[in-house]
Structure 1
Amino acid sequence: MVAAPQEATAARPRPLLRGWLHLAAFAVVLVAGSLLILAGKTFGQRLCLTIYVASLALLFGVSAAFHRVQWGPTGRRRMRRLDHSSIFIAIAGTYTAVAGLVLTGWTRNLVLIIVWGGAAIGIVIRQVWLDAPKWVVALPYVVVGWSALVVVPQLLHGLGVAGFLLLLAGGVAYTAGAITYALKRPDPIPHVFGYHEVFHVCTVVGAALHFVVISAIALPAANR
């Protein structure tokens, strides 16, 4: 659903707003996510929600640290690897919550195998080929992010029409971010709010939409 960050270069200084949005999102996830975990009615639900919230916190926390801290060459490459890996973990973590709350039996197991297997493969690829072209970076995230839709009927039944459409909308937002990263467009104010910041906006919008979906499932379940 999402793509990976880019380093600032000497020819193009880091935009002034680089990383701030994900830092704010990290703070929101810590608070809202903690409340969401408490909404879990059973141990299994709370476990799925904990994995989900932890994966989001990892995504935004690592991204904020990577983009806001002045790292040396070695530290920067290590943080890039962690940053890229956290994207796959967030995708799998999101589907863990969805699958754990609305799917059962073989469909739940299939989704978890697909997303975590795909995430593991993607992480290995990113560790081996850190400096891949942008389109190569973006494509695996999109593929893994949409792969769980092999069980569309079951997701539609479990989420309802509104929830399913919100899930799709979140995926579209993430995909738009990946496309923005790959094309480096739009690039509105390069030294303040560039294409990478547009990409970050897309990831936050996608995460927010999915958070709404998962909250709508978890909160009614807690009140039953």
Structure 2
Amino acid sequence: MTIFRLKQLASTSFHAAAGVMQWNYDRAELIADGVVHIVGICFGLVAATALIVLTAVYATAADIAAVSIYVAGLLAMLVLSATYNLWPVSRAKWVLRRFDHSAIYLLIAATYTPFIMQLKDSYFAIAVLIGVWCLAIVGIALKIARPGRYDRLATGLYLAMGWSGMMLYDAVVERLPALTLGLTLAGGLLYTSGVIFHAWQRLRFQNAIWHGFVLLGAACHYTAILDLIVLT
């Protein structure tokens, strides 16, 4: 296995942490991960365009705004993940890592937006949405300013943000269609299950498998939003 090392050059201008980040993937693993990312971007662009067009035709102005936020978060995650993971090992890769991890916070908050906009008459639902966006902003700030310092905390925060919508369970069950609810829960379970492979660094093709779970989770949430906004 070819072992790459990305040096985190300590500097006040880049706030880089001291030490070494290992990039332990052989050629086959890198190719597999590249295929997953390319497939994700291609399908993401087509799906995002279709969702925007259908929302513009069949939904309200508020729905268009909420879906636009979601689409921006989805595409940012897909593009930044591909850029970071496929970029050659260099100092620039360490910088890209910050934006890749930050995009996860953005996607979680953006995914919540169209769902909670359907519950906009609930002050508690709006408070949850505001709280999720505030946590996303804090998380992004930490990733940009203190890269590599709080990675374990960040993983826990991703999961906590992702499942915080369970606080709205009663209202969601009452207001959302059964298919939308099922797809939303399936997406959350896929994301959560994928974290196992994200942490299982000794497993070959671990990174490609993790990103495959991310795409499946994103596909479930995309379909849930399509069903909620356009098809119901």
Q: TM-score, normalised by structure 2?
A: 0.81
Aligned residues: percent identity? 27
Task: State whether residues 138 and 182 of structure 1, in contact with CA within 8 Å, keep that contact through their aligned partners in structure 2.
Answer: no
Task: State whether residues 52 and 68 of structure 2, in contact with CA within 8 Å, keep that contact through their aligned partners in structure 1.
Answer: yes
Match status 1:200 vs 2:211: yes
Match status 1:215 vs 2:226: yes
Match status 1:28 vs 2:43: yes
Q: CA deviation at 1:87?
A: 0.5
- Structure 2 distance, partners of 1:82, 1:116, is 17
Gaps of at least 5 residues in structure 1 are 1-5
Please name the residue that 1:130 is paired with: 147
* Cα-to-partner distance string for 1:98-122 (whole Å, 9 max, x where unaligned): 1123543314412321210111121
Which of 1 and 2 has greater Rg? 2
Q: CA deviation at 1:139?
A: 1.3
Tell me, what secondary structure is at the counterpart of 1:184? coil
Matches within 5 A, 1:1-224: 9=22, 12-13=25-26, 15=29, 16-40=31-55, 41-70=59-88, 72-73=90-91, 75-132=92-149, 135-184=152-201, 187=203, 190=204, 194-220=205-231
Tell me, what secondary structure is at the counterpart of 2:33? coil
More relative contact order, 1 or 2 (CA 8 Å, 6+ apart):
1
Q: CA deviation at 1:71?
A: 5.1
Equivalences, count: 209
Gaps of at least 5 residues in structure 2 are 7-20
Q: CA deviation at 1:158?
A: 2.0
> Cα–Cα, structure 1 residues 132 and 180, in superposed 2: closer, same or farther, change >3 Å?
farther
| Aligned-partner residue type, residue 29 of structure 1 | G
Task: State whether residues 17 and 197 of structure 1, in contact with CA within 8 Å, keep that contact through their aligned partners in structure 2.
Answer: yes
- Structure 1 distance, partners of 2:24, 2:77, is 28
